Amino acid sequence: MNSHRLLGRVLVLLIFVNLLYALPAPQTVTTLPDPLLPKDATEYVRQTVQRELDASRNDHSHWRYRIHREDEKGSQDRDVVDTKDGQLARTLLINGLPLTGEQRANDETRMKKLVEDPSERAKRAKREKDDEDRLIQMFKAIPEAFIFKYEGADQGQIRLSFFPNPHYNAPNRELQVFRSLGGTMWIDRAAGRLARMDGTLFEDVTFGWGLLGRLNKGGTFSVIQDRVGDDHWEVVSLNVKMSGHAVVFKSINVKQKQSMTGFHRVSDDLTMAQAYRLLEKSETDAAVGRVSIEPRAQ
């Protein structure tokens, strides 16, 4: 999963509550952590965003990895395989424990439907394409929606702070979310790639005069990206913590934590059916003791 897509998912969570307040812009600083960097920090971010978009467009490699996800409902661990037809994932653990017979049967049914039903894959592909188009628009808007300033360098990464640009005119309601965010971004100096982005909600935000909802001050998100092989970068960590209420005191608790590990490349021509056989083989190997799937510590 490319960085702009997962970052965009974080921002979509924020859009859900229609953040509408702006923060004051910072003063521009001229002290550069590296004399070869553009004097204008926002221009440096613009170059980085373009590099991310180019990589997303041109890198068609496929990867297999393990994802651990936690939210209010519990946790799941999955073995994920990218294919030319989309992703296929087998659930390994639920709440740190191996699946029961019923859970395993349901998981098999889900996977086989994707493998065997072209219409199911087409529906998912359309949803993903619509999301992708919207999220690319959001990612492109970052250099215009924020003012950046250099804050220093940390172990080969350039650190920048960002604040809403008071002159940014959002072309649609979705992009108005940027008017309420501030935080810090880190860019890998050697690769010129986004390494991390942390954002914070600095005040309570209401919409519908407070009757429809409120998001509490202090909500945060953090996205970390890293090189996982060759020149391929992937998001390896995501942490979102938001709370509030919506529609007359219904609680909102958007808490999601994800970590992705064990990346290794698979064939760029891999089909969904081939991915299923790979996952099936791993399941068989685990059953006979050649692969150990240990429950995660609670």
One-letter amino acid at 44 equals Y
Check residue 293 and give its pLDDT.
44
On whether residue 172 sits in a domain, the answer given is: yes
Check residue 206 and give its pLDDT.
56
Which tokens is 149 given?
A: 């300033």
Check residue 246 and give its pLDDT.
62
On whether residue 264 sits in a domain, the answer given is: yes
Taking 3-state DSSP, the helix, strand and coil percentages for the chain, each rounded to the nearest 5, stand at 35, 40, 30
pLDDT in tens, 227-281: 998 889 999 999 988 777 665 555 556 788 999 999 999 999 999 999 999 999 8
- For the chain, the straight-line distance linking the first and the last C-alpha, in angstroms and rounded, comes to 27
How much is the average pLDDT of 214-236?
86
Q: What are the backbone angles phi and psi of residue 275, rounded to the nearest 5°?
A: -65, -40
Question: Which helix (H) or strand (E) segment is 70 a member of?
Answer: strand 62-71
Q: Is the pTM of this model over 0.85?
A: no
Q: Which of 46-55, 134-143, 169-178 has the lowest mean pLDDT?
A: 169-178
Mean pLDDT of the chain: 81
**Angle, in degrees to the nearest 10, between helices 3-15 and 118-145:** 80
Q: Which has the closest alpha carbon to 67: 97, 93, 86?
A: 93
Quick one: CA dihedral 231, 235, 237, 239, positive or negative? positive
Contact yes or no for 179/168 (Cβ under 8 A): yes
Specify the number of domains making up the chain.
1
- CA dist., res. 17 & res. 147, Å (int): 23
Rg (CA), the chain: 21
pLDDT in tens, 4-42: 444 444 444 444 333 323 333 344 444 678 888 999 999
Predicted confidence (pLDDT) at residue 214 exceeds the cutoff of 90:
no
Virtual torsion, Cα 125, 131, 133, 139, nearest 10 deg: -140
Check residue 130 and give its pLDDT.
83
Contact yes or no for 270/264 (Cβ under 8 A): no
On whether residue 203 sits in a domain, the answer given is: yes
**Angle, in degrees to the nearest 10, between helices 118-145 and 101-116:** 90
- CA dist., res. 96 & res. 76, Å (int): 7
Q: Which of 38-42, 139-143, 277-281, 283-287 has the lowest mean pLDDT?
A: 283-287
Domain interval for residue 236: 3-287
Beta-carbon count within 10 A of 100 CB: 10
Which tokens is 226 given?
A: 């890293």
The model's confidence at residue 150, banded by pLDDT at 50, 70 and 90, is very high
On whether residue 222 sits in a domain, the answer given is: yes
- CA dist., res. 244 & res. 218, Å (int): 11
How much is the average pLDDT of 143-164?
94
Beta-carbon count within 10 A of 246 CB: 18
**DSSP tag of 296:** P
